[in-house]
């Protein structure tokens, strides 16, 4: 699943560790989601979106991930 986490973190000047602290997970978990190695649970996706004060769809785009997998 594609996401905009890296861009959104950079806009706020947050480290992966800072975002992890805001949502209650480790820096490694944030890295795994951000790099596409792990899809977040629905609860974690909600927490990340809340941290960025936006909707889940503004952070995560499952259709982009599906399009890349089809290529």
- Domains along the chain with CATH numbers: 2-70 (1.10.260.40)
CB neighbours of 21 closer than 8 A, spacing ≥ 6? none
Give the pLDDT confidence of 10-64 residue by residue, as tens digits: 999 999 999 999 999 999 999 999 999 999 999 999 999 999 999 999 999 877 5
Q: Are 20 and 29 within 8 A, CB to CB?
A: yes
pLDDT of 22 reads 98
pLDDT of 60 reads 95
Torsion of CA 31, 43, 68, 11, to 10 degrees: -50
Bridge partners of residue 60, in order along the sequence: 3
Task: Tell the residue number behind the tokens 């594609």, with chain if given.
Answer: 2
pLDDT of 44 reads 98
pLDDT of 62 reads 73
Q: What is the value of pTM for the model shown?
A: 0.85
């Amino acid at each position: 699943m594609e996401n905009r986490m890296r861009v959104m973190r950079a806009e706020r000047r947050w480290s992966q560790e800072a975002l992890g602290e805001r949502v209650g997970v480790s820096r490694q978990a944030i890295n795994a989601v951000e790099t596409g190695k792990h899809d977040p649970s629905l609860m974690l996706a909600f927490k990340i979106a809340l941290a960025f004060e936006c909707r889940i769809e503004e952070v995560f785009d499952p259709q982009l991930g599906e399009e890349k997998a089809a290529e």
